[in-house]
């Protein structure tokens, strides 16, 4: 099969599209881990909730309206941003600098609450969002035909990576987040409200997860508990890419996506094992990740 150009190109494109969806989620998580040093186990639940909010907007409130998916993605991002702001300002801010198990217990409690809320509001049926008219069908790439929507997801991941890089490296907000990561006390002494910087990072991370959930819902099914698989893969991407490294997360998501695509086709019963083996192999040689930096605890 690997010698078949059509199979090879299809599988590579599948891997890229899988990786780019995971990257959109992992980008928010790597910002939260890198700046806030918070193990946000609820990030996958934010992704799932964004998918359900997107479905509610696109399939119930705006059913048949042109551009419903784009409006749904924006709505999902805004809803998750407001929810994240409330969580961060009322509860999470008290856990900064505390031991990791406090953060894990708190964010795991959020997972349980969000999962129960999803079941109460939307039930346990499997849901999905219809593709927009402009992205239905497949595009002729010369060597093969490939779904337009998955090509769109590939483009979304690249655009998000570039925009986040510009935001972090070329703006005052980006400089403040890097300073907050290095020395929160010194930044506070200079008159900067570090609490607002932390809140903005958490809100941005949750917004990315919400938008990613709404866009992914048009390519996969929604069901309660789907966050469990996505959070594992997202943490793997962040770990192998390097904590706080945006391009490390991008590279890690691509690697994970390609391994998932090829593993699903070639050795479906060992696909998840291959991902863990890849993570172990990378961490054996670079414990701080592909593009991360070795630093003292």
Whether residue 234 has pLDDT greater than 90: yes
| Residue 88 contacts residue 69 (beta carbons within 8 Å) | no
79-105 pLDDT, tens digit per residue, is 999 999 999 999 999 888 788 889 889
Mean per-residue pLDDT of the chain: 92
pLDDT for res 59:
94
10-54 pLDDT, tens digit per residue, is 999 999 999 999 999 999 999 998 888 888 999 999 999 999 999
**Mean of pLDDT values over 142-162:** 94
Long-range contacts of 141-145 (CB under 8 A, 24+ apart): 141/9, 143/5, 143/6, 143/9, 144/5, 144/6, 144/9, 144/10
pLDDT for res 180:
87
Whether residue 296 has pLDDT greater than 60: no
Whether residue 60 has pLDDT greater than 80: yes
**Mean of pLDDT values over 263-269:** 90
For residues 105, 197, 24, 251, the Cα torsion angle rounded to the nearest 10 degrees is: -100
Residue 1 pLDDT class (50, 70, 90 cuts): low
pLDDT for res 118:
96
| Residue 102 contacts residue 91 (beta carbons within 8 Å) | no
3-state secondary structure 198-229: HHHHHHHHHHHHHHHHHHHCCCCCECCCCHHH
pTM of the entire predicted model: 0.94
Q: Does 1 or 254 have the greater pLDDT score?
A: 254
Give residue 191's region: left, alpha or beta (phi > 0; psi -120 to 50). left
Return the minimum-mean-pLDDT range out of 42-46, 130-134, 246-250.
130-134
Whether residue 297 has pLDDT greater than 60: no
Whether residue 3 has pLDDT greater than 80: no
pLDDT for res 123:
94
């Amino acid at each position: 099969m690997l010698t078949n150009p059509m199979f090879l190109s299809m599988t590579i494109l599948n891997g890229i599209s899988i990786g780019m969806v995971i990257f959109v989620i992992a980008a928010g998580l790597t910002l939260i881990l890198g700046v806030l040093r918070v193990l946000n186990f609820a990030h996958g639940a934010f992704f799932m909730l964004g998918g359900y909010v997107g479905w509610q907007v696109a399939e119930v409130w705006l059913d048949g309206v042109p551009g419903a998916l784009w409006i749904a993605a924006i709505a999902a991002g805004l809803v998750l941003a407001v929810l994240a702001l409330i969580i961060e300002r009322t509860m999470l801010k008290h856990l900064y600098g505390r031991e990791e198990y406090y953060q894990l217990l708190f964010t795991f409690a959020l997972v349980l609450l969000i999962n129960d809320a999803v079941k109460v509001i939307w039930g346990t049926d499997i849901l999905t969002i219809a593709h927009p008219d402009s992205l239905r069908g497949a595009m002729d790439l010369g060597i093969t035909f490939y779904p337009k929507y998955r090509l769109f997801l590939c483009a979304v991941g690249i655009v998000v990576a570039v925009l986040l890089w510009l935001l972090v490296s070329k703006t005052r907000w980006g400089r403040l987040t890097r300073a907050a990561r290095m020395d929160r006390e010194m930044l506070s002494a200079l008159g900067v409200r570090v609490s607002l910087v932390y809140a903005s990072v958490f809100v941005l991370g949750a917004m990315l997860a919400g938008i990613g959930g709404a866009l992914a819902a048009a390519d996969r099914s929604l069901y309660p508990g789907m966050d469990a698989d996505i959070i594992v893969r997202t943490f793997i991407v962040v770990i192998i890419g390097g904590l706080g490294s945006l391009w490390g997360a991008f590279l890690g998501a691509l690697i994970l996506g390609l391994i998932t695509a090829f593993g699903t086709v070639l050795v479906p019963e060992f696909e998840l094992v291959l991902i863990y083996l890849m993570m172990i192999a990378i961490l054996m040689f670079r414990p701080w990740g592909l593009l991360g930096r070795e630093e003292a605890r």
